[in-house]
Amino acid sequence: MKIQVLGTGCPKCRKLAENAKTAVSELDIDAEIEKVESIDEILKMGVMMTPGLVVDGNVVSTGKALTVKEIKDLLS
Protein backbone atom coordinates (compact mmCIF):
# COMPACT_ATOMS: atom_id res chain seq x y z
CA MET A 1 0.00 0.00 0.00
CA LYS A 2 1.25 3.48 -0.82
CA ILE A 3 0.06 6.45 1.21
CA GLN A 4 0.91 9.98 0.18
CA VAL A 5 0.50 13.01 2.40
CA LEU A 6 0.15 16.15 0.30
CA GLY A 7 1.18 19.46 1.80
CA THR A 8 3.86 22.09 1.95
CA GLY A 9 4.76 21.60 5.60
CA CYS A 10 2.07 23.56 7.43
CA PRO A 11 1.03 22.39 10.91
CA LYS A 12 -2.05 20.56 9.54
CA CYS A 13 0.12 18.79 6.96
CA ARG A 14 2.60 17.67 9.61
CA LYS A 15 -0.25 16.46 11.84
CA LEU A 16 -1.79 14.44 9.00
CA ALA A 17 1.58 12.80 8.28
CA GLU A 18 2.01 11.97 11.97
CA ASN A 19 -1.53 10.56 12.21
CA ALA A 20 -1.01 8.47 9.05
CA LYS A 21 2.15 6.93 10.51
CA THR A 22 0.34 6.16 13.76
CA ALA A 23 -2.62 4.60 11.93
CA VAL A 24 -0.36 2.37 9.84
CA SER A 25 1.54 1.31 12.95
CA GLU A 26 -1.63 0.57 14.95
CA LEU A 27 -3.14 -1.43 12.07
CA ASP A 28 0.19 -3.24 11.63
CA ILE A 29 -0.01 -3.01 7.84
CA ASP A 30 2.78 -2.84 5.30
CA ALA A 31 2.55 0.64 3.82
CA GLU A 32 4.94 3.16 2.33
CA ILE A 33 4.25 6.71 3.49
CA GLU A 34 5.49 9.48 1.24
CA LYS A 35 5.29 13.23 1.84
CA VAL A 36 4.61 15.24 -1.30
CA GLU A 37 5.53 18.90 -0.82
CA SER A 38 5.81 20.05 -4.44
CA ILE A 39 2.92 22.35 -5.34
CA ASP A 40 3.13 21.15 -8.96
CA GLU A 41 2.81 17.50 -7.90
CA ILE A 42 -0.08 18.31 -5.55
CA LEU A 43 -1.92 20.19 -8.31
CA LYS A 44 -1.34 17.32 -10.78
CA MET A 45 -3.33 15.12 -8.39
CA GLY A 46 -6.22 17.59 -8.54
CA VAL A 47 -5.85 18.74 -4.94
CA MET A 48 -6.58 22.43 -4.38
CA MET A 49 -6.60 22.42 -0.55
CA THR A 50 -3.96 20.85 1.62
CA PRO A 51 -3.40 18.73 3.48
CA GLY A 52 -4.40 15.88 1.23
CA LEU A 53 -4.29 12.14 1.71
CA VAL A 54 -3.83 9.75 -1.20
CA VAL A 55 -4.09 5.97 -0.85
CA ASP A 56 -2.84 3.86 -3.76
CA GLY A 57 -3.27 6.76 -6.18
CA ASN A 58 -6.79 7.73 -5.03
CA VAL A 59 -7.35 11.06 -3.27
CA VAL A 60 -9.36 10.20 -0.15
CA SER A 61 -9.25 13.50 1.74
CA THR A 62 -8.40 17.15 1.19
CA GLY A 63 -8.37 20.26 3.33
CA LYS A 64 -8.18 18.74 6.80
CA ALA A 65 -5.95 16.73 9.07
CA LEU A 66 -7.77 13.46 9.56
CA THR A 67 -7.62 11.83 12.97
CA VAL A 68 -5.87 8.51 13.49
CA LYS A 69 -9.29 6.82 13.74
CA GLU A 70 -10.50 8.39 10.48
CA ILE A 71 -7.36 7.21 8.70
CA LYS A 72 -7.66 3.73 10.17
CA ASP A 73 -11.27 3.55 8.95
CA LEU A 74 -10.13 4.47 5.43
CA LEU A 75 -7.33 1.91 5.41
CA SER A 76 -9.19 -1.07 6.86
Among 1, 2, 9, 10, the active-site one is 10
Q: Are 14 and 64 in contact (CB under 8 A)?
A: no
Query: Do the Cβ atoms of 5 and 18 come closer than 8 Å?
Result: no
8 A C-beta contact, residue 67 and residue 54: no
Active-site entry in 3, 5, 6, 13? 13
* Residue 39 and residue 8 in contact, taking contact as beta carbons nearer than 8 Å: yes
Residue 72 to residue 47: CA distance in whole angstroms: 21
Decide if 15 is catalytic.
no
Q: Catalytic site residue 13?
A: yes
Residue positions annotated with a catalytic role: 10, 13
